[in-house]
């Protein structure tokens, strides 16, 4: 019983941390987008061409929202720099950074 309660507490803490992290990321994206005058930011999923099962491949195709984008509109590097700077300002350890 104690193990189950402990797992539930950890799960709730994980969900709360995940929500907080997601909010930090979306705030960082919005900050960079506004600076650059972007009105819309989307995520582009890369296609895993090594997939050999038909169902998995079809699922990837169905889930992709962006089929092509010009690389000149990619703000990922600036978003990561912003998130890392915000993280450091908030007192986060210098060795832990957002990134790919």
Q: Which of 52, 30, 26, 48 is nearest to 39 (CA)?
A: 30
pTM, whole model, 2 decimals?
Answer: 0.69
**Ranges in the chain, pLDDT < 70:** 1-7, 93-100
pLDDT digits (tens, 9 = 90+) for 42-70: 988 888 889 889 999 999 999 888 888 88
Provide the H-helix boundaries in the chain: 2-36, 54-63, 76-89
């Amino acid at each position: 019983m104690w193990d189950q309660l402990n797992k539930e507490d950890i799960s709730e803490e994980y969900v709360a941390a995940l929500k907080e992290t997601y909010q930090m990321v979306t705030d960082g994206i919005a900050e960079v987008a506004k600076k650059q005058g972007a009105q819309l930011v989307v995520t582009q999923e890369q296609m895993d061409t090594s997939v050999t099962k038909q169902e998995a491949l079809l699922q990837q195709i169905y889930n992709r929202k962006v089929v092509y984008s010009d690389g000149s509109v990619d703000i990922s590097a600036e978003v990561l720099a912003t998130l890392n700077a915000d993280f450091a300002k908030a007192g986060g350890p210098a060795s832990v950074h957002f990134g790919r």
